[in-house]
Amino acid sequence: MDVRTICLGILTRGDATGYEIKNLFEDDGYQHFVEASFGSIYPALNRLTEDGLVSVREEAQEKRPDRKVYSITRAGRTAFLASLLKPLPEDRHRSPFVFAMLFADLLPPERLIAMIDGYIVQAEAKLAQLNASHAKAKTPGEAFANGFGRTIYEAMLEYLRSQRGNFIRQTPSAAVAAE
């Protein structure tokens, strides 16, 4: 999914500022669907506004600049639903960690161990984030997506923990250093 489509999806749940949309990308699991920087969200919202898929209104704030609040239009909702009805592209999993593991035999053992342990810590943090947000799921679809993500991270952690020692022992550079 592209940033525009995800912005439309978020706005089907209610009006939001660009900042609130950014926080949803970062904190509520939307980062699993697309990588979006703060810098890509506003151009997407501007284009959606130009295309009539989103409307924007300014709300005054005390001692601060007015904030822009975005709402999905009827045309935006139609466009979003049309995008959901199209055949979905194949999921792509890109992992710098897995790529590095392809060349584990070239790594010093301490670096290999640090990479695996660091990845475990990252996966544990993501799982904790998903566990914390599970109770906040507002729809069956949100609960399903959260559970799907939790299952993936649980399986990933189980694999990493169960294979860590054996993988390190079998990796030539690590095995030589361990002798």
Q: Kindly state whether residues 16 and 78 are assigned to the same domain.
A: yes
pLDDT band (50, 70, 90) for residue 2: confident
Task: Quote the pLDDT of residue 32.
Answer: 63
Answer yes or no: is pLDDT of 175 > 60.
Answer: no
Average pLDDT (24-28) is 72
For residue 146, give the amino acid letter: N
Q: Do 62 and 18 share a domain, yes or no?
A: yes
CA–CA distance, 89 with 87 (Å, rounded to integer) = 7
Residue 100 and residue 71 share a domain: no
Distances (CA, A) of 130 to 119, 134, 154: 16, 6, 11
* pLDDT at residue 80, rounded to an integer: 97
> Are 43 and 106 contained in the same domain?
no
Residue 146 lies in a domain: yes
Q: Taking Cα atoms as reference points, which of 115, 151, 101, 107 lies closest to residue 131?
A: 151
Kindly state the average pLDDT of the residues 62-79.
95
Rounded to 5 degrees, what are φ and ψ at 23?
A: -65, -35
Give 42's Cβ-side CA count (13 Å radius): 5
What is the span of the domain harbouring residue 70?
A: 3-85
User: Which residues sit opposite 54 in a β-bridge?
Assistant: 72
Tell me the per-residue pLDDT of 4-18, one tens digit each, with 9 for 90 and over. Answer: 998 999 999 999 999
- Cβ atoms < 10 Å from Cβ of 100: 16
| 107-125 tens-digit pLDDT | 988 999 999 999 999 999 9
Q: Percent of the chain having pLDDT more than 90?
A: 56
Reading the block at residue 112, the tokens are: 């290999």
Q: Map residue 72 onto helix, strand or coil.
A: strand
Q: Of 85, 118, 148, which marks where a domain is finished?
A: 85
What local confidence, expressed as pLDDT, does residue 11 receive? Answer: 96
